[in-house]
Amino acid sequence: MKNYMDKIAVTPNRNFFSINFPGIVLCFVVMIAGVYFANLIGVLIVKLQILPEGSSSPVSGIFVAIILGIFIRNVVSIHPFFLPGIALAVKYALRLGIILLGLRLSLIEALKLGAWGIPLIIACISSGIIVTLYFTSKMKQSKRLGTLIAGGTGICGVTAIMAISPVIKAKDNEISYAIANITIFGLVSMLFYPLLANTFFGDDPIKAGLFLGTSIHDTAQVTGAALIYNQMYDIEKAVDVAMVTKLTRNLFIIVVIPLISSLFFKGMDDRQDTVGERIPKWYKLVPMFVIGFLLLAFIRTIGDMTLANNGLALGFLDLASWKAFYSYGSSFGTTYMLGIAMAGVGLSTSFKSFKGMGLKPFYIGLIAAISVGIVSLTLISLFGHLVVI
C-alpha cells in the first residue's frame, strides 16, 4: 500500500480527484453495508431476547465492514483502479475519526469516580497491557500484533487498535487479526460477565458497573452487558456506573498510545519483525491525531462545565444544540470516518497474509481477557466499597 501512497504524493493535483474518488466511494459503500448488517445483527439479538428491547447492536459496524472488505478483496477481487483511493481513506479517515472521537469524552465523567475509581481503572488497564506483552514475548509472536491486542484489551477495544496502528506502522492483516481477536472475546464477556457480576457482587450496582466497565473491551459491548445485567436483575444504576467507568477508561487512550508505542520500539533491534526500521523520536510517539483528540475532549469538557454553570455551553449553545453538536460530531467520526478507514483495511487485506499467523495470538488475547477479568474482580471485591458515584 505504501507504493500507492507514494504515487499519490507525486500525482498532479488535477488528477488527484479522479484517481482517488473510486476507492473512497468503494470504502464508503462497504462502510454503509457494515453499519446496516451490524444493525441487522442487533435486531436479531433483541428478537432472540439476548438483549432487552431498544438496545443497540453489540457488534460494531466497523468490525462488519472489515469482514465485508476482506470478503470482497479475496472472493470478488478488486481492480487496481480502486487501490489509491483505498490507501488514502485508510490513512486520513482513520485520523479524522479518532480526532472526532474526543467529542464523546468529557473529563468531568472521570471525576465522578473519585479517588478510588480511577486507580482501579488504571490497574485493570495495566494488567491487560502487561500480560499481553509478556505472553507475546514468551510465545515469540509478532510484537506489532501483540501491541495491538494489548491496547485493545487494556483500553477500548477496536478504537485503541486503530489509534495505535499508524504509530507502530501495523500491517493490514495484523489490524484485522487484532480486531477479530478483541471482538470475539468482548462478545463472550458481554454475554457471561453480567452473571459473574451478580455472583460476586449481588445487587450492588456500583461494584457490578465497575466490573463490567473495566473488564469488557469495547464500549458497545460494555453497554450491552450493562443492559443485560439491568434486564436480569432490574438494577438500572449499574448501567450508568458501567458507562461512566468505560468512558473514563477510554480517556486513557491519550496516555497509553505513546506509552505502548514506546514499549514497542524499545529493544526493536533484536526482534525479527521490526528489523530495518528506525526508532522514531519520542515526540513522534504522540501523533497529531491524539493531540486533536485531546483538544476536542477539552472542548467537550469546557462545554459541559459552562452549560452546568450558566445554561449555555461555551457561552452560546443551549442544552439541545450542545448535545446535537457533540453527538453528531462523535457519531460522524466513529461511525463514518472510522468505518471508512476500516473498510479500507479489509479491502487491503488478503487471506494469504494470514498464512503462518496461527492461533497463538488468539490464545494471547484469551489469556489477557481472563487476566483483566480476574484483576477487576479482585480489586473491586477489595476496594469497590470505597467508590461512591
The answer to whether residues 22 and 85 touch, using CB atoms and an 8 Å cutoff, is: yes
Is it the case that residue 273 has pLDDT exceeding 90? Answer: no
Single pTM value for the model: 0.78
What is the distance between the alpha carbons of residues 81 and 21, in angstroms, rounded to a whole number?
10
> Which pLDDT does position 355 carry in this prediction?
72
What is the distance between the alpha carbons of residues 228 and 349, in angstroms, rounded to a whole number?
35
What is the distance between the alpha carbons of residues 254 and 257, in angstroms, rounded to a whole number?
6
Sign of CA dihedral 266, 272, 273, 277: positive
What is the distance between the alpha carbons of residues 99 and 169, in angstroms, rounded to a whole number?
18
Mean pLDDT of 49-58: 75
- The model's pLDDT over 84-93, given as tens digits with 9 standing for 90+, comes to 999 898 888 8
> Which pLDDT does position 2 carry in this prediction?
46
What is the distance between the alpha carbons of residues 156 and 220, in angstroms, rounded to a whole number?
10
What is the distance between the alpha carbons of residues 222 and 159, in angstroms, rounded to a whole number?
14
Is it the case that residue 380 has pLDDT exceeding 90? Answer: yes
What is the distance between the alpha carbons of residues 159 and 152, in angstroms, rounded to a whole number?
7
274 pLDDT band (50/70/90 cuts)? very low
- The model's pLDDT over 129-150, given as tens digits with 9 standing for 90+, comes to 999 999 999 998 888 999 999 9
What is the distance between the alpha carbons of residues 129 and 155, in angstroms, rounded to a whole number?
9
What is the distance between the alpha carbons of residues 249 and 238, in angstroms, rounded to a whole number?
16
Helix or strand or coil: residue 317?
strand
Percent of the chain beyond pLDDT 90?
A: 31
Count Cα atoms within 13 angstroms, Cβ side, for 175: 32
Nearest 5°: CA angle at 166, between 164 and 170?
A: 85
- The model's pLDDT over 221-256, given as tens digits with 9 standing for 90+, comes to 888 888 888 878 888 889 889 988 988 898 888 888
Residue ranges in the chain assigned as alpha helix (H): 2-10, 13-47, 61-71, 83-101, 107-111, 114-138, 143-151, 158-164, 172-201, 205-215, 219-233, 237-251, 253-265, 288-310, 319-331, 338-347, 360-383
- The model's pLDDT over 318-355, given as tens digits with 9 standing for 90+, comes to 999 999 999 999 888 878 898 898 898 889 877 776 77
When mean pLDDT is compared across 26-35, 175-184, 203-212, the lowest value belongs to 175-184
Q: Out of 26-30, 225-229, 294-298, give the one with best mean pLDDT.
A: 26-30
What is the distance between the alpha carbons of residues 344 and 31, in angstroms, rounded to a whole number?
9
Is it the case that residue 182 has pLDDT exceeding 90? Answer: no
> Which pLDDT does position 6 carry in this prediction?
45
Is it the case that residue 277 has pLDDT exceeding 60? Answer: no
Query: What's the mean per-residue pLDDT of the chain?
Result: 84
159 pLDDT band (50/70/90 cuts)? confident
> Which pLDDT does position 10 carry in this prediction?
41
Nearest 5°: CA angle at 360, between 357 and 361?
A: 75
